[in-house]
Chain A
Amino acid sequence: MSKIGVFVCHCGENISATVDCEKVAETISKLPGVALSMDYKYMCSDPGQTIIKEAIKEHNLDGVVVAACSPRMHEPTFRKACAEGGLNQYLCEMANIREHCSWVHPRENSTTEKAIDIVRTMVEKVKRNAPLESIKVPVTKKAMVIGGGVAGIQAALDIANAGHKVVMIERDPSIGGHMSQLSETFPTLDCSQCILTPRMVEVAQHPNITLISYAEVESLEGFIGNFKVKVRKKSKSLDEKLCTGCGLCTTKCPNKKIPNEFERGLGFRPAIYVPFPQAVPNKPVIDKKNCTYYTKGKCRICEKVCPTGAIRFDQPDEIVDIEVGAIVLCTGFDVKKPDFFPEYGYGKYKDVIDGLQFERLASASGPTQGVIRRPSDGEIPKKVVFIACAGSRDPAKGIEYCSKICCMYTAKHAMLYKHKVHEGTPYVFYMDIRAGGKMYEEFVRRAIVEDETQYIRGRVSTVYEKNGKLIVKGVDTLMNGRLVEIEADLVVLATAGVANDGAEDLAQKLHVSYDSYKFFAEAHPKLKPVETNTAGIFLAGACQAPKDIPESVAAASGAAVKVCGLFANNELTREPLIAIVNREAPPLYSNCVGCFMCQTVCPYQAIEREEVKDRSGKVIKTLAYINPGLCQGCGTCVALCRSKSIDLLGYTNDQVYTEVMALLND
């Protein structure tokens, strides 16, 4: 006869307000095998836990049910308590009578009845629980950082400086991300590249960091501590060992009229190119879509001029397997595409540009050497209208969230413009000014007061061109809705920050979840901001939601610490809730008949073939074997197995079957 202890928690008023906890405890105490059943105000409090520990000793309980909140909340707490009380932690179960009962039902008998059913069910389950020991798996002390923006750079450096190996994967030819495109940064107005490029170089030169640029993740196998990542190194058509980065090829390439991505299409680049002067690695790649040789089959000028003969036209993509223990995702964000704003004529009028394009115009290394000239005719604009919330906070546009960085960089843009064009007037149309952050509000004030930016609170309905001017039609809600019309020379849209294209695809490859906007989802919005719900994969930067530089860097360091924490141990312990194939005495050996239909359902390739041999070494039977290191315990194989030879610890057939029975038999 089992000795189960049942502890019903009032959770202050949270449960007892609608559930008669005494009655629950009292009813349950009558169940066979229940040695002790009591209720208490706060089970999770120290005294509460102590009660459990003592009870375990006193009644030498062989099972514990805590009827309280969701196991997703406090299961670890109480299992720990039980362990300390000398009971195997897996003999402790939680009955969720708060989230699934007291909070969702009124104070009625039916609610208490339901609570009783729930507890009874868990009691019956616990009777069939088995003591389990956690699994220990080795940890590969090497991290992969996906994405070489400022977040990725920070994460990589932090991990590397802690003495661990890091592999950085970057999709583009150079690391640096969006930050390398920025002119100055708020609120200090220090030059973006001046603070970023040294760290880019540091990454390239760090003994612990291997940088793989122009590469993308193909697939991911394994689990925390033991990931195996397939990486596609896209062909650069270049032997990097030979290339000295002299740049002769890029100057000699005849095909120079390709819109430059780094300049956001405001400038041009050749077909063989280095994205920008300070690029890391500072070696060119050939853009196959535009290279005359790849498209038309002749040219090869770069090959001729290369002093070291480093050009390799026939270089194929290369797939490399990399084994790492942890992964940090820093794939960053993108901004909404032009065609998203027909009413603003973005994409239709040359002089309607987005924030990043303005950054390039204002950047000393940009297409205009930092002089603000409008794209259409190169004139210096006299009136510039900045439109904040272009897409953001606009349910009609399907983007309900605030892109967060726009208020600040719009203020910055207005400033930069005013500093460069003293006689010009910057206008800003805004909904609200969201300048939360150190020195942020002051910064916006400066833009308004010192730099005389005309802030107009209201939306812009449409922008249209008339006699070379852009007519911006909007409303000033602080002037009781007066219509405003501004004849601007340049319009800058603070376009909404959105998830990078391919984010969804990557998330599915890595089995991390993502929200409806395709931003990667953290494991807990407050308490686990840099973890994903896939153990061993962490997040940093704007791939999670729009973030500014300080936030991205902070998150990156946070993720780095998590990785280092993981690497602090040589092995990590995993929950033993995994599937096992049953064993029987010879001649049966197991009920498994080796049809291996389970092998194809396993998402983790955890099911292997095991041969039972006799003394002579002759194979008597081939059985399924489940690799405890790989099994994640989804149980799909268990439900599929016809002979019921596979069972899932913690959710055994016996347990779930009993639950169904107990839940209904009242």
Chain B
Amino acid sequence: MNELIAKAKYLLSSKTVDVVIGYGKGSGKYARAEFIRKLDDADKMIYNETCIQNLATYVQKHEVKHLGKIAIVANNYTLRSLLVLASEFQFTEGQVLALYITPENKIVEMPDFKSIEDHLATVDTGLKPDEKEIVDRIEKMTVAERWDFWQKEFAKCFKCFACRSSCPLCYCTKCMTESNQPQWIPVAASDLGNMEWHIMRAMHLAGRCVNCGDCARACPMDIPLNLLTYNLIEGIEKDFGAKAGMKATDISTLSTFKPDDKENFIK
């Protein structure tokens, strides 16, 4: 996609940014991330249906931050992730230039939060019908069935933590699962440890997850991890009218409250 390449070259040569994060041909079925710092590297960049990874993941990585100002090829999920990261003070306005690519393959530069927020306000950020459908299907199961369903899934997990690495919002320098005093979660892969790990992770993403689905795509064992957070996203929107990554100034659902939050289970 020449337009994009040209844009990247321009941004680099004009020193507008120090690195452009885009997509390059991957070995698997998805394109992989390319970090373009030299002009001629820009030719590696591609943009097609295989380019679905949420590149925001790299924005707050120590190594990347060091490179300087960043331009990043973005879809709606990327943009929302960026706003969540911004609301959590992981980068400041102007540090990241989002290159949003429209469905018509037009490139829109989004240098500031305002432009991102305005854009997101116009697009449908809800769960897709198929996503909803599968969440509902699991919800319809009995508790026992759900338990079996997830135990089967969790049993596959061998704690490679690809889900964590792929998630733009899992940026703790020391993950809770690595803290060993106490050892909240057993280190080795085990039915218990796996379940605890995935529930913990989902809980940590509650009110933050933007349902990009990268965790599930990253999982080598194809565990549908995203469903855990999808289910929460619905609930949070219903109970608190909140949706993550729509404003850079948002306060995350779990770090605020309303005196009249409605629940029916606390006796």
- Chain A interface (Cβ < 8 Å from any Cβ of B): 588, 591, 593-601, 622, 640, 642-645, 653-654, 657-658
CB–CB A591/B174 < 8 A: yes
Tell me the residues in window 146-174 of chain B with beta carbons closer than 8 Å to chain A beta carbons.
Answer: 171-174
Pick the residue among A588, A594, A595, A601 that contacts B256 (CB under 8 A): A601
CB–CB B89/A643 < 8 A: no
- Chain B interface (Cβ < 8 Å from any Cβ of A): 88-90, 171-176, 179, 181-182, 184, 204, 251-252, 254-256
CB–CB B255/A601 < 8 A: yes
Ordered by A's residue number, 15 sampled pairs between the chains whose C-beta atoms are within 8 Å are: A588-B174, A594-B89, A595-B90, A596-B88, A596-B89, A597-B254, A597-B255, A599-B255, A600-B251, A600-B256, A622-B89, A643-B172, A643-B174, A643-B179, A653-B182
Tell me, in angstroms, the Cα distance from A598 to B175 when the chains sit together: 17
Shortest C-beta distance, B174 to chain A (Å), equals: 4
* Known pairs A593-B171, A597-B252; A644 contacts B89 (CB<8 A): no
Shortest C-beta distance, A614 to chain B (Å), equals: 14
Shortest C-beta distance, B35 to chain A (Å), equals: 22
What B residues does A591 contact at CB under 8 A?
172-174, 179
Tell me, in angstroms, the Cα distance from A640 to B204 when the chains sit together: 9
Pick the residue among B90, B171, B173, B251 that contacts A588 (CB under 8 A): B173
Shortest C-beta distance, B250 to chain A (Å), equals: 11
CB–CB A593/B182 < 8 A: no
Pick the residue among B171, B175, B182, B251 that contacts A657 (CB under 8 A): B182
What B residues does A622 contact at CB under 8 A?
89
CB–CB A643/B175 < 8 A: yes
What A residues does B175 contact at CB under 8 A?
643
Q: Which 5 pairs show the lowest CB-CB distances between chains A and B?
A: A657-B182, A595-B88, A597-B255, A643-B172, A591-B174
Pick the residue among B172, B184, B254, B256 that contacts A593 (CB under 8 A): B172
What A residues does B255 contact at CB under 8 A?
597-601, 640
Tell me, in angstroms, the Cα distance from A588 to B175 when the chains sit together: 13
Shortest C-beta distance, B12 to chain A (Å), equals: 25
Besides A596-B89, A642-B176, 14 new A-B residue pairs in contact (Cβ under 8 A), listed by A number: A591-B172, A591-B173, A593-B173, A595-B90, A599-B255, A600-B255, A600-B256, A601-B256, A644-B176, A644-B179, A644-B184, A653-B182, A654-B181, A657-B184
Shortest C-beta distance, A583 to chain B (Å), equals: 13
What A residues does B89 contact at CB under 8 A?
594-596, 622
What A residues does B252 contact at CB under 8 A?
597
Tell me, in angstroms, the Cα distance from A654 to B181 when the chains sit together: 6
What A residues does B251 contact at CB under 8 A?
600
What A residues does B173 contact at CB under 8 A?
588, 591, 593, 643
CB–CB B88/A597 < 8 A: yes
Shortest C-beta distance, B244 to chain A (Å), equals: 12
CB–CB A642/B184 < 8 A: no
Shortest C-beta distance, B188 to chain A (Å), equals: 18
What A residues does B172 contact at CB under 8 A?
591, 593, 642-643
Tell me, in angstroms, the Cα distance from A598 to B174 when the chains sit together: 17
Shortest C-beta distance, A303 to chain B (Å), equals: 44
What A residues does B256 contact at CB under 8 A?
600-601
What A residues does B254 contact at CB under 8 A?
597, 640
Shortest C-beta distance, B65 to chain A (Å), equals: 11
